Amino acid sequence: MNELVQRLSEGQHPVEVSLRPEKTATVFKESIDTGYVHIKFTDTKGGTDLGVRLDPELSNFNEADFEHQTGKVHLVGNLTLNYVKVQCIADINLETLEGKGYLEPIEQ
């Protein structure tokens, strides 16, 4: 298995939401509504920014209050990193737009 995928699959890692043009809960909600978000693993060399296609069935937004920027979201989605299909699981605090996450290799 790829070294980066293996490392990000072991334990929880600090993550943050990558947003343009501004890093706000409102822009994050707009990104979620499109079904595609960018999650950055910050403890890798230079940071690893991943585009994640969300799985609405597995993600959970029940504890999120985007308007007041409080609560948290549980994101689950798939992507391919270095030719390895993985599932990204992340819990994001809406106040800071940071949290913890990890990857799970998908058997092929």
Contact 104, 86 (CB under 8 A): yes
DSSP the chain: --HHHHHHTSS-EEEEE--SS---HHHHHHHHHHTEEEEEETTSTT-EEEEEEE-TTT-B-TTEETTTTEEEEEEEEEEEETTEEEEEEEEEETTTTEEEEEEEEPP-
Of 20-29, 53-62, 70-79, 92-101, the range with the lowest mean pLDDT is: 20-29
Range of the structural domain that residue 35 is part of: 3-105
Residue 108 pLDDT greater than 80, yes or no: no
The domain spanning residue 31 has which CATH number? 2.40.250.10
| Structural domain total, the chain | 1
Q: Cα separation of 15 and 90, whole Å?
A: 8
pLDDT band at 21 (very low <50, low <70, confident <90, very high): confident
Q: Find the mean pLDDT for residues 32-37.
A: 96
State what percent of residues in the chain have pLDDT above 90: 88
Residue 100: Cβ-neighbour burial (10 angstroms; 0-12, 13-18, 19+): middle
Mean pLDDT of 58-80: 96
Note the pLDDT tens digit of each residue in 35-55: 999 999 999 988 999 999 999
Residue 13 pLDDT level (bands cut at 50, 70, 90):
very high
The structure tokens listed for 52 are 């994640």
Residue 62 has pLDDT above 90, yes or no: yes
User: At 49, which amino acid appears?
Assistant: D
